Amino acid sequence: MVAPNGCVMIAGYSDPLDVLLNLQRALDAQTGSGWLQNQTASPGPFPPINVFQQGDNILAIVELPGVDKKDLQIQAKENTIRISGKKSANYPEGSVHRRERVFGEFDRTLSLPIGLDPAGIKAEYRDGVLALLLPRAESEKPRTIKIS
Amino acid sequence: MADRQQLQAQKKREQENREETTIPARVFVPTADIYETQDALTVILEMPGVEKSNVNVRVEEGLLHVEGRLDLNKYQGLQPVHTEYNVGHYARSFQLSSKIDQTKIAAALNDGVLSLTLPKIEEAKPRVINIS
């Protein structure tokens, strides 16, 4: 199901200086892949999500800088994950020089093309990055078929 | 900006106009908000994934340099299947408009957002001039 169409493995590069470059290239190569079927109509849905394969499991990494943990909700149902919340900031009065950050509410649903084990989903939010460990359902795991 | 507005993901801007680094990887420009109060200049930078120990802030000759390094170990052994953003270190410099008291710069990192408070030196603060 998860075709590694030309995917580059990141682990095990001999030259540590190339690790970041190779990671960036690997990420670029998978940009806009048709792997997720949830492609919403508008471009640039928030928050941006990277999906990785880690052994049998799926790891989704979401960048949410400035979102308070208590303003973040994650719901899982079958093979869909819903990430919603709000990003807000309170700045004191003063003259504004630059305003590049965006604030507001967000609600995004990810539908994965594989079955998940909803009970085993783990979420961790640290340093503005949400990591969702999505274990593959037992029935989805590949089986070795013995040739008789 | 209206609170109800649907959030859009911002495309990461890559760093430009800077000496090339010896490491061939890309560096991104953190999104910033800057505002000024009577006493200080506050710079807020979004650097998701950067830990406290990997942030470097310095002020030199009216230039503020901020660097945040990403811990790449977390990406070891991961195979991307769908990506919407790229990752890399962050770096950005600002020309400061007022004199800053370097000894009193305060920095805080919360949820991937770095807040820098750069207090102005006494002479740079606005004064009320009484008309006699």
Average pLDDT over residues A98-112: 88
Three-class secondary structure of residue A132 per DSSP: strand
Three-class secondary structure of residue A26 per DSSP: helix
Q: What angle do CA A79, A129, A98 make, to 5 degrees?
A: 125
Average pLDDT over residues B62-67: 90
Beta-bridge mates of residue B60: B63
Tell me: the pLDDT tens digits for A69-90?
Answer: 999 999 988 888 899 999 988 7
Give the pLDDT band (50/70/90) at residue A10: very low
Residue A120 lies in a domain: yes
Q: Give how far B63 is from chain A: nearest CA, Å.
A: 16
- Which of B12, B53, B69, B82 to substitute to test the interface with A, most A CBs within 10 Å? B82
Instruction: Note every long-range contact of A30-37, with CB atoms under 8 Å and residues 24 or more positions apart, other chains counting.
Output: A30/B80, A30/B81, A30/B82, A30/B83, A31/B83, A31/B84, A33/A5, A33/B81, A33/B82, A33/B83, A35/A2, A35/A113, A35/B81, A35/B82, A36/A110, A36/A111, A36/A112, A36/A113, A36/B82, A37/A111, A37/A113
Residue A147 lies in a domain: no
Strand order in the sheet with A129-134: A122-126, A129-134, A57-63, A49-54, B79-82
Amino acid at A106: F
Pairwise CB contact (< 8 Å): B77 & A7: no
pLDDT score of A8: 44
DSSP string, B63-102: EEEEEEEE-GGGGTT-EEEEBSS---EEEEEEE-SS-B-G
Tell me: the pLDDT tens digits for A17-51?
Answer: 677 888 888 888 877 666 665 555 444 578 999 99
Contacts of A127 in chain B (CB under 8 A): 48-51, 109, 111-112
Pairwise CB contact (< 8 Å): A24 & B79: no
A70 touches chain B (CB under 8 A): no
Give the pLDDT band (50/70/90) at residue B96: confident
Q: Give how far A57 is from chain B: nearest CA, Å.
A: 10
Q: Is the complex ipTM higher than 0.90?
A: no
Beta-bridge mates of residue B70: B50
Residue A68 lies in a domain: yes
Give the single-character DSSP code of B7: P
Ranges of each domain in chain B: 27-74+85-124
Chosen CATH of B27-74+85-124 out of 2.60.40.790, 3.30.559.10, 3.40.50.300, 1.20.810.10: 2.60.40.790
- Residue A60: domain span: 37-88+103-140
Least confident of B12-16, B44-48, B114-118: B12-16
Helical residues (DSSP H) of B2-72, grouped into ranges? none
Average pLDDT over residues B108-121: 93
Residue A95 lies in a domain: no
How many whole angstroms separate alpha carbon A144 and alpha carbon B37? Answer: 66
Contacts of B48 in chain A (CB under 8 A): 63-65, 127-129
pLDDT score of A1: 36
What total of structural domains would you count in chain A?
Answer: 1
How many whole angstroms separate alpha carbon A54 and alpha carbon B78? Answer: 5
Q: Up-side HSE of residue B41: CA atoms within 13 Å toward CB?
A: 22
Three-class secondary structure of residue B103 per DSSP: helix
pLDDT score of A29: 81
Question: Mean pLDDT across chain A, nearest whole number?
Answer: 80
Residue pair A121/A133 in contact (Cβ under 8 Å)? The answer is yes
Q: Up-side HSE of residue B1: CA atoms within 13 Å toward CB?
A: 16
Residue A114 lies in a domain: yes
> How crowded is residue A109: how many other Cβ atoms within 10 Å of its Cβ?
14
pLDDT score of A113: 83
Tell me the CATH number at A83.
Answer: 2.60.40.790
User: How distant, in Å, are the alpha carbons of A96, A135, A137 from that of B33?
Assistant: 8, 38, 43
A23 touches chain B (CB under 8 A): yes
